[in-house]
Amino acid sequence: MPLNANSTPAKPAGKLYVVAIPIGNAADITTRAVETLAQVDAILCEERKNGSRLLKSLGIDKPLLELNEHNEAERVHEIMLMLAQGQSLALISDCGTPVFSDPGKKLLQLLYDMNIPVTPLPGASSLMAALSVCPFDLEEFLFIGFLPVKSEQRQKKLSRLRQASYPLVFMDTPYRMHKLLQEVQQVFGKKQSVFLACDLTTPEEHLYLGPIDEILAKTQNRKAEFILILDRPQKRPT
């Protein structure tokens, strides 16, 4: 039906930009990321404190909306409405590349269902940074990510992975790093070869390579943001 003289075309939907931010070194943010954060109508962040700190360091003043594991189910409809009304939004995580092991998957699914455009702005990623300096053969690997929180469930999952034919990649919270190393030694054996990347891009960055028992001795009770890569499991607990 043609528009009458008093009607106006519907405003096109906005766009969601999925923006990678630094994982430690503030200089790792891209020019495109800074330009996009300065241009969008609002920014979706995991935690307001971290989002505010980033914007302040960049000299950018934009509204912040929290989107995290606690409120994603409820907040996505508000965000969808903003985008449907033509607003442009940026999604950032606390650090690194959003959505991957972070909130945002439910939002993305709805956006694709509604044909609302999404654009990735690639940049810093702890996973890719660790893979780039790991000497293992990583043409094929299994990304495991975070293990369950409960010890019994963690042990069961690790035990199932003992027969894996590919390197295994793990992440966890800093305060569980030592626990994970101990669990790996228990399940895979103290001579299991591992690569541990800690606090990448920060002044405290450290890379460890060797048998799990030696890495445990070197790291002791250190807490760090980390990526743990196991070479192809070959040993049995000893």
pLDDT at 41: 97
Q: Cα separation of 205 and 122, whole Å?
A: 22
Q: Given this model, what pLDDT does residue 112 score?
A: 94
Q: Which helix (H) or strand (E) holds 129?
A: helix 126-133
State residue 196's pLDDT score: 98
pLDDT at res. 6:
53
- Same fold: 16-124 with 127-230: no
Pairing mode of beta strands 89-91, 168-172: unpaired
Residues 163-209 have pLDDT tens digits of: 899 999 999 999 999 999 999 999 999 999 999 999 999 999 999 99
Boundaries of every domain in the chain: 16-124, 127-230
- How high is the pLDDT of residue 102? 77
CB-CB neighbours of 235 under 10 Å = 15
Low-confidence stretches of the chain (pLDDT beneath 50): 1-5, 235-238
The pair of three-digit structure tokens given for residue 16, joined into one six-digit string = 């969601």
75-85 per-position pLDDT tens digit: 898 999 999 99
Q: What is the pLDDT of residue 233?
A: 84
From the candidate CATH numbers 3.40.190.10, 1.10.10.10, 3.30.413.10, 3.30.950.10, the one assigned to the domain spanning 127-230:
3.30.950.10
Q: What is the CATH number of domain 16-124?
A: 3.40.1010.10
DSSP 200: T
pLDDT of residue 234: 64
Strand order in the sheet with 42-45: 64-66, 42-45, 89-91, 16-19, 118-121
Given this model, what pLDDT does residue 10 score?
58
Radius of gyration of the chain from Cα atoms? 21
